[in-house]
């Protein structure tokens, strides 16, 4: 089994257990496929994850170090200056915890009883005291990245909106405008030469977190129901589970009708009394 995949977790981490939290990624999983969410959080069997992208993680970590220099000095980063953003990195006693995976910003949601959490990449503050949620992204594409205009970018947008919602639950003044800091590794060099050159662009996004409360209520209803929800049509994981289950059931039924295979232990090969193992 891959070291990255442990399908059956300790029950204490399942819904109803003392360690269960509703993370930002779990909210997105519910939006994507309620059945996969239910199997994961209620039944305790997680989807296989993708392997970690260490290069992306390295870019994130270096961005954090770079912006922390300006956080300490309370000066604008050159990217902010270049895009004429009236802001500096936000100083707060909990900023390191808010950015730490498996901790993040944690909120007790009274209507559902959930502890909702999410680890933000960064937060900036403008001269009017408004907070801007910031998310770091990295990739390698030929075209300059200036917009989030692909279908799969919807998950990025929901991610930012959950962070905005979490900070608002802390009674902080959060702007609808968040920013994606996008690092794009160029491919136009003649050779690698032990380095990658990144073009960094800043993409503003006006979030709307009004959907979050409704989804939290739906998640509560889902988890409290003893019946697993139906699979969605476009979930590849659900389609695979169904197809694999059908194939295995058919294979088992076929085995019942097979005759007992002949005993080949004393078969002769090439005229010699060789035994097959």
114 and 207, same domain (yes or no) = yes
275 pLDDT more than 60? no
* pLDDT higher than threshold 90 for residue 128: yes
Whether residues 161 and 60 share a domain: the answer is yes
* Residue 178 to residue 176: CA distance in whole angstroms: 6
Same domain, residue pair 214 and 237: no
> What's the token pair of residue 211?
């959907």
Range of the domain at 245: 229-259
Task: Please tell me whether residues 82 and 165 are part of one structural domain.
Answer: yes
Asked, for residue 147, whether it belongs to a domain, the answer is yes
Residue 191: the pLDDT is 81
Query: Are residue 134 and residue 199 in the same domain, yes or no?
Result: yes
Q: Do residue 116 and residue 207 come from a single domain?
A: yes
* 236 pLDDT higher than 80: yes
Q: Are 253 and 150 members of one domain?
A: no
At residue 261, the pLDDT reads 61
Mean pLDDT in residue range 168-197: 90
Q: Are strands 114-118 and 22-23 parallel, antiparallel or unpaired?
A: parallel
Question: Can you give the pLDDT at residue 9?
Answer: 83
Q: In the predicted model, what is the mean pLDDT of residues 48-76? A: 89
pTM of the predicted model, to two decimals? Answer: 0.87
Assign 3-state DSSP to the chain and report helix, strand, coil percentages, each to 5: 40, 20, 45
Residue 277 has pLDDT above 50, yes or no: no
Q: Confidence band (pLDDT; 50, 70, 90) for 276? A: very low
One domain, residues 98 and 153: yes
Number of domains in the chain: 2
Domain match, 148 and 244 both: no
What does pLDDT average to over the chain?
89
pLDDT of residue 262: 59
Residues 139 and 248 in one domain: no
Q: Highest-confidence range of 55-64, 127-136, 181-190, by mean pLDDT?
A: 127-136
Handedness of CA 177, 75, 55, 1 (dihedral sign): negative
């Amino acid at each position: 089994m891959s070291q990255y995949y442990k399908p059956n977790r300790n029950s204490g981490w399942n819904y109803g257990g003392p360690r269960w939290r509703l993370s930002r990624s779990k909210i997105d999983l519910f939006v994507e496929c309620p059945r996969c969410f239910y199997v994961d959080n209620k039944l305790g069997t997680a989807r296989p994850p993708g392997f970690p992208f260490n290069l992306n993680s390295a870019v994130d970590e270096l961005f954090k170090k770079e912006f922390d220099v300006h956080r300490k000095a309370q000066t604008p980063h050159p990217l902010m200056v270049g895009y004429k953003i009236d802001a500096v990195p936000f100083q707060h006693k909990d900023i390191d915890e808010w950015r730490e995976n498996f901790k993040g910003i944690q909120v007790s949601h009274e209507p559902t009883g959930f502890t909702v959490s999410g680890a933000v990449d960064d937060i900036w503050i403008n001269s009017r005291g408004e907070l801007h949620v910031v998310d770091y992204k990295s990739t390698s594409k030929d075209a300059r990245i200036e917009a989030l205009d692909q279908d799969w970018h919807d998950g990025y947008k929901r991610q930012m909106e959950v962070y905005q919602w979490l900070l608002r639950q802390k009674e902080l003044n959060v702007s609808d405008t968040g920013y994606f800091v996008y690092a794009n590794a160029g491919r136009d060099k003649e050779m690698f030469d032990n380095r990658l050159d990144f073009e960094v662009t800043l993409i503003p996004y006006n979030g709307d977190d009004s959907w979050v409360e409704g989804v939290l209520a739906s998640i509560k209803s889902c988890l409290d129901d003893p019946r697993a929800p139906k699979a969605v049509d476009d979930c590849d994981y659900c389609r695979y589970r169904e197809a694999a289950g059908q194939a295995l059931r058919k294979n088992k039924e076929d085995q019942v009708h097979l005759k007992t295979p002949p005993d080949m232990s004393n078969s002769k090969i090439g005229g010699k009394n060789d035994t097959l193992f």
